[in-house]
A and B are shown apart, each in its own frame.
Chain A
Amino acid sequence: MDLKDLYQEIILDHGKNPRNLGKFDNYNKDAKGNNPLCGDNVHVYLRLNENKKVEDIAFEGHGCAISMASASIMTDMVRGKEEKEVKEIVTDFLGMIKEKDSLETNILKEDEKTKLMSLSGVKQYPMRVKCATLSWHTLTSALDNSDQIVKTED
């Protein structure tokens, strides 16, 4: 295990200065997620246009560097993508965090994949995996219009 894998510069940067933090007015989908074990929470807001494209996305919440960085990078990455592309990215990301060595989707450019792979360090820290995945599960919940608050304890 190496802390440098976990706390890469990009994570520290996004953790400290999360992009897309806050809420915007004309969102049409949102969902909340929380991690009962540590009290972290996130609220994802997004606007899907008539072509099912993510016009805008933001999040509110608090948590550790990993969870904030993950939400920050995620929101950056899915803006402008179509709903089904977003879902493919989410599935690919969660698969990578869970078991796969790399990202397979063709939707993301190589530099975007590199950015996302900066979160792969959590794989060595099983207790921290949920920090990285909470916002992604919450994004899925928002897209599916689920009223259920996402919890990481399942």
Chain B
Amino acid sequence: MNIDDIKREFPIFDDKIQNNDLVYLDSANSSQKPRVVVDRIYDFYTKEFSNVGRSVHYLAVAATNLYEQTRVSVQKYINAKDKDEIVFTKGATEAINLVANTFGQKYLSEGDEVLLTELEHHSNYVPWHFLRKAKNIKIEFAEINDDGEVTLEAIEKKITNKTKIISVSHLSNVTGAILPIKEIIQLAHSKNIPVLIDGCQGAPHLKLDMQDIDCDFYAISGHKMYGPTGIGILYAKKKWLEDLPPYQGGGGMINEVKKEGITYGELPNKYEAGTMATAQVIAFNESIKFMEKIGIQNIEKHEKELLDYGLEKLRKNNSVNIIGNPKEKGGVISFTIEGVHPHDIATILDEDGVAIRAGHHCCQILHDKLNLPATARASFGVYNTKDDIDKLDDAINKCKKIFNL
């Protein structure tokens, strides 16, 4: 595949940003959007718009078909068994909240344990914390090792007979560690514990096969997969979606509404209350097609090359300290520079058009463990090149110069 051609499909790179060529190294935060996705939103609103699933006029039927086509595309992309196992949400955060809320309502009570890991994003901790408050459940954290990984053994150590659900990241947005999710799921299932995978960082970069990994729930963020904001996916095994109570109430999710009682709609409508992010869902189909066209194996290979090149380059740069050293690692390099705070690094890099993120990346538990208030993070997408990494390295050197290092 030719990265220059791929990059040209992203309009953001057409123009200079603050007089610089954009070196976008913040894809773990949110990816840029290819033209096909942006155009799809425009075309839908200008030529095809209608609400879905309600009216019988031509536009409504056409929009409903488009909306459902995305569901089928997602189903195929992640190899789910049934299209009804795909629930659209406003993001991965809502997907995790949906599970925490409904599973919590039905299956968690005082003293029960939810097992997370120390490297979880806040969106895979705070929803469970609500249950700690409301139901007096306990939250356990599987520990990271010195390489910034969570091993199967670390998970096993924290499983007790009170563990009712395990919810872990596929790929850490800080250390880049890829967790052994298939093994974790096998272990959990051998003890009858369901597993939710926070796939925010997994889905854009790794091959997904729901039937192979056999997880119970998998949360996906659309905007990190070259898709629009405002769309996420909850994959859940059908038995769970049938078994768990609805999440939000409103139009579209009901079967029959009477003064004396309400029955809920069939899947997948049961979990899609109110008017959904229709245009975004329809445009997300283009994101899936875009990724399929390149091929996830090619994306993985490209990002691995970038990662290896980036690690080699930054390791050679004195005073750069790379956070974590996982054996299985995705395209994320978090680092610190001795003597320069990450926010100062980010501001100085930005001056040269190098966009990175600085802070705790919504992982305060992990940063506390690492005893670091903040880190700087460069993360890759399909459009990045080795030249981007060279520019990152140059900008880091400029940073050191300003701080007289």
Contacts and interface: CB of A to CB of B under 8 A. Distances in A.
Interface of A: 1, 3, 6-7, 12, 15-16, 37-41, 62-66, 68, 125, 127-128, 131
Contact of B373 (A6, A15, A62, A65): A62
Given A3-B351, A38-B359, A39-B359, A12 B343 contact: no
B110 to A, nearest CB: 30
- Which of A6, A38, A125, A128 is most buried by chain B, counting CB atoms within 10 A of its CB? A38
17 contacts: A6-B347, A7-B348, A7-B403, A16-B339, A39-B359, A39-B360, A39-B364, A39-B373, A40-B373, A41-B373, A63-B341, A63-B373, A64-B342, A65-B341, A66-B343, A125-B347, A127-B347
Contact of A39 (B18, B374, B402): B374
A125 B360 CA distance: 20
B147 interface: no
Interface in B385-405: 402-404
Size bin of chain B's contact surface: 20 to 34
Given A64-B343, A64-B344, A65-B341, A38 B404 contact: no
A131 to B, nearest CB: 7
Given A1-B351, A65-B403, 19 more contacts: A1-B18, A3-B351, A7-B344, A7-B403, A16-B339, A16-B403, A37-B359, A38-B343, A39-B360, A39-B367, A39-B373, A40-B343, A40-B373, A63-B341, A63-B343, A64-B341, A64-B342, A64-B343, A128-B343
A7 B402 contact: yes
B363 to A, nearest CB: 10
A54 to B, nearest CB: 28
B402 A3 contact: yes
Interface string B310-346: 0000000000000000000000000000011111100
B358 interface: yes
Contacts of B374: 38-40
Contacts of A7: 344, 348, 402-403
Contacts of A6: 347
A3 B403 contact: no
B403 A12 contact: yes
Nearest to B373: A39
Contacts of B373: 39-41, 62-63
Contacts of A40: 343, 373-374
B344 A38 contact: no
Contact of B344 (A1, A41, A66): A66
Interface in B13-45: 18
Interface of B: 18, 339-344, 347-348, 351, 358-360, 364, 367, 373-374, 402-404
A38 B402 contact: no
A3 B339 CA distance: 17
A15 B402 CA distance: 13
Q: Which 3 A-B pairs have the closest CB atoms?
A: A64-B341, A64-B343, A38-B359
Nearest to A125: B347
Given A3-B402, A38-B358, A128 B341 contact: no
B370 to A, nearest CB: 12
Prevailing SS type, chain B contact patch: mixed
B346 to A, nearest CB: 9
Contacts of B351: 1, 3
A64 B343 CA distance: 6
A127 B347 CA distance: 9
A100 B373 CA distance: 32
A12 B358 contact: no
A40 B342 CA distance: 11
A38 B403 contact: no
A16 B18 CA distance: 29
Contacts of A12: 402-404
Contacts of B347: 3, 6, 125, 127-128
Nearest to B352: A3
A38 B362 CA distance: 9
B344 A65 contact: yes
Nearest to A3: B351
Nearest to B19: A1
A16 to B, nearest CB: 7
Most buried by A among B18, B340, B351, B373: B373
A41 B403 CA distance: 22
B91 to A, nearest CB: 19
B360 A38 contact: yes
Nearest to A4: B402
Contacts of A128: 343, 347
B353 to A, nearest CB: 12
A16 B341 CA distance: 10
A12 B68 CA distance: 56
Q: Which of B343, B373, B402 has the most CB of A within 10 A?
A: B343
Contacts of A62: 373
A44 to B, nearest CB: 18
